[in-house]
């Protein structure tokens, strides 16, 4: 259901539907990290950092979305919510578009990122990429090529959170209603 509200790439959409999906995708982009935090906690991860800008790779600061810890393993995490990015062309990771995605994401997907990245003078043990969607049939090969310990679908997480993270969503509904009411009042 949610994909029909935010994904682009379908043929035959009207300009209004394209605009609506882009708008909704941007809204989702503003809130999905809070939903991810809730999901991480429910999956047993400790959130060490969010929107981390103090990590270092090759002697320069590199921002990542999260640093997580679970069972003594320190994970570096990059999350991308791109259901409408480039008209939907990169919303799903496949074996065919890995190189394009590597260029768009940057150094996080470098083969040596885990070996050379540190946070608070600690080396990380593994990296996780969270993407809108991916080719499930080839997940192991995609993870191998991108040197990931895990690849997680935001779309899947959102489905799992239905009815469990309503308090987070309702906070954003309230804030949006306040803004929209002020714009038309």
- Identify the band that residue 9 occupies on the pLDDT scale cut at 50, 70 and 90: confident
List, for residues 74-109, the tens digit of each pLDDT value: 999 999 988 887 788 889 999 999 999 999 899 999
What is the band of 142 on the pLDDT scale with cuts at 50, 70, 90?
A: very high
113 burial via Cβ count (<10 Å: 0-12, 13-18, 19+)? buried
Q: What is the model's pLDDT at position 34?
A: 96
pLDDT value, residue 131: 96
Residue 21 confidence (pLDDT) above 80: yes
Alpha-carbon separation of residue 76 from 43, 87, 123, 165 (angstroms): 16, 28, 10, 24
Burial class (CB in 10 A: 0-12, 13-18, 19+), 94: middle
Ranges of each domain in the chain: 32-184
Confidence bin at 10 (pLDDT 50/70/90): confident
pTM above 0.95? no
* Mean pLDDT over each residue of the chain, to the nearest integer: 94
Q: At what angle do helices 15-42 and 166-184 cross, to 10 degrees?
A: 140
Which CATH number does 32-184 carry?
3.40.1350.10
What whole-number percentage of the chain has pLDDT above 90? Answer: 88
pLDDT value at residue 89: 84
Rg (CA), the chain: 17
pLDDT at 85: 76
């Amino acid at each position: 259901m949610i994909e029909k509200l935010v994904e682009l790439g379908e043929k035959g959409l009207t300009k209004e539907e394209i605009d609506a999906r882009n708008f909704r995708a941007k809204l989702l982009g503003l809130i999905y990290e809070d939903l991810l935090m809730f999901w991480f906690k429910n999956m047993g991860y400790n959130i060490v950092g969010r929107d981390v800008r103090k990590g270092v790779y090759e002697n320069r600061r590199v921002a990542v979305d999260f640093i997580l810890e679970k069972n003594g393993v320190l994970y570096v995490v990059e999350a991308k919510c791109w259901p409408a990015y480039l008209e939907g062309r990169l919303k799903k990771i496949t074996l065919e578009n890995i190189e394009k995605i590597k260029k768009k994401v940057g150094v996080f997907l470098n083969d040596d990122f885990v070996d050379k990245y540190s946070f608070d003078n600690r080396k990380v043990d593994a990296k996780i990429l969270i993407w809108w969607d991916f080719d499930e049939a080839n997940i192991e090969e995609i993870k191998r090529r991108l040197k990931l310990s895990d690849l997680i679908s935001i779309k899947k997480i959102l489905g799992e959170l239905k009815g469990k993270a309503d308090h987070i969503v309702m906070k954003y509904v309230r804030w949006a209603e306040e803004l929209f009411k002020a714009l038309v009042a």
